[in-house]
Amino acid sequence: MFDTIVIATDGSDSVRRAVDFAIDIAARFEAEVHAVYVVDSGEVESTPDEVRDDLRDALDDRGREALDQVSDAATDRDPSLDVTVEAREGRPAAEIAEYARDVDADIVAMGTRGRHGENRFLIGSVAERVVRTCPVPVLTVRQLTDEDPRRTTI
């Protein structure tokens, strides 16, 4: 049913649950896992010149960390899972959809909120755009609040 799963990550706390769901699906179906991180070129270009390079470097570092988190989570869940990672720069929703096409994904998994937090009422703007434009099904997974009875704490 699922041969190729793309996990869109920005390294935020809200994407962790989506990563776990996607990795669980991948393990059950022995699917390929692809993790993609997108540096928002609009965010970088709208930054003052004197700090633009520092911002790009910080976002690149965050991307490597985010992709490593997905790889580590996959290895922890099932050591046989192999994760292909990709960092891109551009408009996040467009890049995620293009990557899904490039790898012939069966599904894209992502969180409903990203680094910019609660700026949208029900679903983050990037997640909303991916749902509307992606050529494959998109699994959006919301982060549970501390008060949610389904959330387990260790």
Q: How far is CA 65 from CA 34, 69, 149, in A?
A: 15, 6, 30
Res 12: pLDDT? 87
Res 114: pLDDT? 54
Res 122: pLDDT? 43
Res 149: pLDDT? 53
Q: Compute the CA torsion angle 84, 3, 10, 14 (nearest 10 deg).
A: -140
Res 14: pLDDT? 80
Res 142: pLDDT? 85
Res 137: pLDDT? 97
Residue type, 8: A
- Domains of the chain and any CATH numbers: 4-141 (3.40.50.620)
Q: How far is CA 91 from CA 33, 38, 45, 111, 125, in A?
A: 22, 8, 11, 17, 12
Residue ranges for the chain with pLDDT beneath 70: 113-124, 144-154
Res 64: pLDDT? 97
